[in-house]
Amino acid sequence: MSVVVAQDLTMTYRVPVRAGGLAAALASVVRRRYRDVHAVRRVSFEIAPGEVVGFIGPNGAGKTTTMKLLSGLLHPTSGRIDVLGFTPWQRRAPFLKGIALIRGSQPVGGSQELTVLDALDYQRLLYDVTRGDYQQALTELTDLLELEPLLERQLRALSLGEKMRVGLALALLYRPRVLFLDEPTLGLDVSATATIRRFLATHAEQTGATILLTSHYMADVQQLCERLLLIDHGEVQYDGSLPELSARLSPFKLIRVSAPSARRDDVEPAGEIVQTGNGTWVLRVPRADVARATAALLSTVDVADLAVEEPALEDVIDRAYRDGLA
């Protein structure tokens, strides 16, 4: 039984077209012209309870639009959506209590004059959380998100990383079962990013929440998601695991060999040298050839260490965005 179902989901925005210049501006007042932007086209997928799915694609691919459709902020042009048994755009109370949309670009909405504690208390009232559940959730979230020093501070005075932590606490206070996370690490420094990733991994594991996550940082996806949905030009291009995508897009693996006494001529026959220095060599080898190349290296050079690696995910995804998956 899936908790999220999108079937032939389509969203077309109608945008006014205006030519430059005063005459054209005046003419457009009398006779408006429009054009269609096909943001999402016949997108279909299902997500099972407890799955953590990475939703990736280049700028303008349709990720945010899909997230807004799934969380009921937009009404689709056509197609069917079912989240926790509800039709999102109807925005029924039990649906709203079952999901959260968290956007890295806008982690905390509402009045920025409130203190963090006041905002959390206000959220308790909005979502009708009992005092007992509130106290328990607050204690857990304060601990996991290190909120203690922030509780008495005003929202407007928080840094971006602090806002994201508070945004997560506000969203999770009512314990939604489905999370739509749109760029949760956007603009954060290395340590804030690591905190958010750690928190999300722990949260998913402890609560079994279902998560759909967009990010332009492949490390987010790599560390958190077992399954990837790749969307481009509004259409799903790939739905599957990361290693499968890697294998499909990159027919090579990398062999990293540490052999301080070896010379270039000893190593070169095993594969194409793509990096060298400090007695370490990185060779690019066709996948089917890895066993042969490894055996050849071990028999011909004095190997101190050897590792077979997948190519960097960033490179694989960049290729998928540029050249497609055909």
- Applying CB under 6 A, the site for ligand ATP has a residue count of 12
Nearer Cβ to ligand ATP (279/324):
324
Closest CB 155 distance from ligand ATP, rounded Å: 24
Q: How far is the CB of 61 from ligand ATP (least distance, A)?
A: 4
To ligand ATP, the closest distance from the beta carbon of 231 in angstroms equals 7
Instruction: Evaluate whether 119 touches 158 at the Cβ level (below 8 Å).
Output: no
Residue 157 binds ligand ATP, judged by CB under 6 A: no
Q: Is 274 in the site for ligand ATP (CB under 6 A)?
A: no
- Range 39-78, binding ligand ATP (CB under 6 A): 39, 57, 59-65
Task: State which residue, 65 or 294, has the beta carbon closest to ligand ATP.
Answer: 65
Is there binding between residue 163 and ligand ATP (CB under 6 A)?
no
Contacts of 189 (CB under 8 A, 6+ apart): 161
Is-contact 277 227, C-beta < 8 A? Answer: no
How near is the Cβ of 234 to ligand ATP at its closest, in Å?
Answer: 7
Q: Does residue 17 touch ligand ATP according to CB under 6 A?
A: no
Selected from 15, 25, 273, 325, the binder of ligand ATP by CB under 6 A is 15
**Among residues 64 and 246, whose Cβ is nearest to ligand ATP?**
64
Task: Find where tokens 């739509």 sit.
Answer: 180
Give the nearer residue to ligand ATP in terms of CB position, either 44 or 300: 44
Our finding on whether 104 is near ligand ATP (CB under 6 A) is no
Nearer to ligand ATP, 72 or 271 (CB): 72
Residue 15 beta carbon to ligand ATP: minimum distance, rounded to whole angstroms: 5
Rounded to 10 deg, the angle between the 116-126 and 160-172 helix axes is 30
Sole binder of ligand ATP in the list 17, 19, 25, 37 (CB under 6 A): 37
**Which residue number, 162 or 232, has a Cβ lying nearer to ligand ATP?**
232
Question: Quick check: 213 and 220 in contact, CB under 8 A?
Answer: yes
- Residue 58 or residue 311: which is nearer to ligand ATP going by CB? 58
Q: Which residues make up the interface to ligand ATP (CB under 6 A)?
A: 13, 15, 37, 39, 57, 59-65
